[in-house]
Structure 1
Amino acid sequence: MKVIIGADHGGFRLKQELIPFIESLGYTVEDVGSSCEQSVDYPDYALPVCTAVVEGKADRGILVCGTGIGMSIAANKVKGIRCALVHDLFSAQATRDHNDTNVLAMGERVIGPGVAQEIVRVWLETPFSEGERHQGRIDKVMSIEQRSC
């Protein structure tokens, strides 16, 4: 599985800690930046991550900013993306299990690296196993996207 990851200045340090962790789990990681803690705009990193996921160049995407809020808003503007803002293990599991999310957003200023690593591990390892029960709901969400574009 290939994971693409991006962060703005507020998520740079956490992104840097997550990359080797994700690789240690056996996944390939592509980093689209940012490359430092100098102020940048989060949409500039959300878009390439989400575009790669939608185009099939990556299986899943991870976005990090200060709170995760801006990244998740930007990500969910991209047609085909189901991004969840997650700061706990239960939500990491549920968002894959129930919502088949393809992008994960987190906030460096909200959680520490240890919790973030466990969230990423759970999110990457959880299959969309509740498809039969939840697929209809996902289809309804995606139809909203189709009608509004």
Structure 2
Amino acid sequence: MKVFIGSDHGGFELKKQIIEAISDMYEVEDLGPFELNPDDDYPDYAKKVAESIAREDAARGVLICRSGNGVAIAANKIKGAYAAVCFSKHHAEMAVIDDNANICCLDADYEGENPVEIVKSFLSSEFAGMETRHGRRFQKIQEMEKRD
């Protein structure tokens, strides 16, 4: 599976840790930033990851900022991107299984569960399927996207 990853300055160090931890299991493409810049803006990296996910079926994404919320809001503006803020392995699993999320958004400042383990749970989970009630709900979300 291909994994696109990006962050702003707030998630820069955590992004490096995650890349190191999952690179032997997945094909990881870092979409930036490539150097720490305290003046960068999370929407720029969220857009890159979300557009990459929307173009490539079976790919997943990871986005990191200080809260996780900013990158999630920005990524969800791109049709075909389904970003979820994941604070735990359980959140990550359910985001995929129930909601077909394809982007895991993390906050770099949260001191809860290990973020690497959260990402691994997200990447190893599979959607319940279009024939389930979750699929029916996901189809309704896709219909909402068509209104734009």
Please say whether Structure 1 and Structure 2 have the same fold, judged by a TM-score greater than 0.5: yes
Name the residue aligned to 2:60.
60
TM-score, L = length of structure 1: 0.92
Unaligned runs of 5+ in 1: none
Name the residue aligned to 2:13.
13
On the 8 A contact 2:128/2:135 being kept in 1, the answer is no
Question: 1:111 Cα deviation (Å)?
Answer: 3.6
Matched, 1:48 2:82: no
SS of the residue aligned with 1:29? strand
Question: 1:45 Cα deviation (Å)?
Answer: 0.3
SS of the residue aligned with 2:4? strand
Structure 1 range deviating more: 115-124 or 32-41: 32-41
SS of the residue aligned with 2:41? coil
SS of the residue aligned with 2:37? coil
SS of the residue aligned with 1:33? coil
CA deviations over 1:124-148 (Å, ceiling 9, x no partner): 001112541211111111212211x
Structure 1 range deviating more: 28-37 or 63-72: 28-37
SS of the residue aligned with 2:114? helix
Name the residue aligned to 2:84.
84
TM-score, L = length of structure 2: 0.92
C-alpha RMSD of matched pairs (Å):
1.5
Unaligned runs of 5+ in 2: none
CA distance in 1: counterparts of 2:116 and 2:78, whole angstroms = 25
Name the residue aligned to 1:123.
122
On the 8 A contact 1:4/1:58 being kept in 2, the answer is no
Aligned residues: 146
Runs of 4+ in 1 over 4 A off after TM superposition: none
- Indicate the structure with greater helix content: 1
CA distance in 2: counterparts of 1:89 and 1:58, whole angstroms = 20
CA deviations over 1:29-64 (Å, ceiling 9, x no partner): 000111233220001101111111111177111100
CA distance in 2: counterparts of 1:58 and 1:136, whole angstroms = 20
Percent sequence identity over matched residues?
38
